[in-house]
Amino acid sequence: MSELVLRTEQDVEDLTWGATFYGVGGGGTASEGLTLLKKELARVGSITCVDPGALRDDAWTATVSFMGNRAPLSPEQESQKKNLGLVEWKYENNMVEAVRFLEKISGRKVEALIVPELGGANTPSPIATAAAMGIHAVDADYAGRAVPEIAQCGACLMGEPTVPIASVDKWGNKAVIYEAVNDALGERLGKMLAMAAFGNTAIALLLLPASVMKNCVVPGTISESHSLGKAVREARAAGRDAAEAALAHTGGRKLFQGTLVKKDWAVKDGYLDGYHVFEGDGEFAGHTFKVWYKNENHVTWLDDKPYVTTPDRVHQIETNLGMPLLNNECREGQHFMFIGLPSRELHLRPEILPRMSPRHYGFDIDYVPMNQR
């Protein structure tokens, strides 16, 4: 059984570094997650993420997540936000309010929070929320990576209902989606609420008994994230390269290294959607690498030929900073290493793979496991 105990700010930083890496270019801004989790750790002294098996089967669980994307607001949007009176936050951690709202509308007491996905915000923030509420955080998540769509989290892929969905923004507005004809539309409605609030909503959903939750999560991923962050920190302290340390610790494959030369992106239906193009150096000199992302990295091309794709995982580290960056944080001229890891077993199930493959995103590309490319 896995269990992780966070005792120091260094533990929080290690966890967040690893979770940001495993977020494959998405998963929320690390600074937000760090702030919330460090604050709660200082208040309670230590935070334990328990093994899923430690929960009673009849304990009610939920997940909580930030909704939207972190694309920068235009000057016009900033002006509109101010004109709407959205100046000061009512809730620093609107995740807490979202869970309380879900409890209120469902009549259930939530005893544990499940991390929805791995990422710089969407991993530490639910753990901080559990600590703030005095309930269990769990050493598991619903994806083993970051995914753009609610319907791609483990519980949804296994057919569990997302509704009711409680939405609370930082300004104090609350809404509930009681029913949705499918998960995709439920998410679309949630995205519209997030867009109305300029990307500052949290949603609480997937109210499930622990007996059901245990069959839908990827266990041990919080410990896995912490272990990676710690290993990279110790390697850097010894004078080693962060990207090479991450490559060695994960046992991944170096997919590419080079400089970002072109960005082409837009916000579409609440998602950050775009391409990054890189020119290679070192062993990849003379080659080009292109990534398509929908919040996270999903499809890549090497010299314009299909390369590694989702559900295999394409991770990125800015080598000069020694940091994994979100796609909205990447800038032309920065230098990256891309590290590939095989898909989580959950996403390779025959009934699930079609909802995670390139064709799901509209590409005429079949999924070929990275070890066959």
Q: 55-109, pLDDT tens digit by residue?
A: 999 999 999 998 876 667 888 888 898 899 888 889 988 999 999 999 999 999 9
Alpha-carbon distance of 265 to 271, in angstroms, equals 10
The mean of the pLDDT values for the chain is: 96
Q: 165-196, pLDDT tens digit by residue?
A: 999 999 999 999 999 999 999 999 998 999 89
Query: What domains sit in the chain, N to C, each tagged with a CATH number?
Result: 4-219 (3.40.1610.10), 242-372 (2.40.390.10)
> pTM of the predicted model, to two decimals?
0.94
- pLDDT score of 93: 87
83 Cβ neighbours under 8 A, 6+ residues apart = none
Angle, helices 221-237/242-250, rounded to nearest 10 degrees: 140
- Closest residue by Cα to residue 262 from 278, 286, 281: 278
67 Cβ neighbours under 8 A, 6+ residues apart = 167, 190, 191, 193, 194, 201, 202, 203
- Closest residue by Cα to residue 272 from 298, 299, 297, 294: 294
Name the one residue in this structure whose structure tokens are 């409890």.
103
Average pLDDT over every residue of 232-250: 98
Tokens representing 25 are: 């270019």
Alpha-carbon distance of 28 to 125, in angstroms, equals 10
Distances in whole angstroms, Cα of residue 363 to Cα of each of 82, 298, 310, 342, 358: 39, 11, 11, 20, 5
Run of H or E residues at 306? strand 305-309
pLDDT at residue 128 greater than cutoff 90:
yes
Alpha-carbon distance of 233 to 211, in angstroms, equals 37
- Closest residue by Cα to residue 212 from 142, 144, 107: 142
Tokens representing 328 are: 């909205």
* CB atoms near residue 108 (< 10 Å): 14
Tokens representing 8 are: 């120091």
pLDDT at residue 343 greater than cutoff 80:
yes
Query: pLDDT category, 344, cuts 50, 70, 90?
Result: very high
Q: 132-159, pLDDT tens digit by residue?
A: 999 999 999 999 999 999 999 999 999 9
Alpha-carbon distance of 277 to 232, in angstroms, equals 26
Give the sign of the dihedral formed by CA 120, CA 18, CA 224, CA 298: positive
User: In terms of DSSP bridges, do strands 136-141 and 165-169 run parallel, antiparallel, or are they unpaired?
Assistant: unpaired
Name the one residue in this structure whose structure tokens are 């016009």.
76
- pLDDT score of 70: 62
345, 267 Cβ separation under 8 angstroms: no
Degrees (nearest 5) of the Cα angle 325, 328, 41?
55
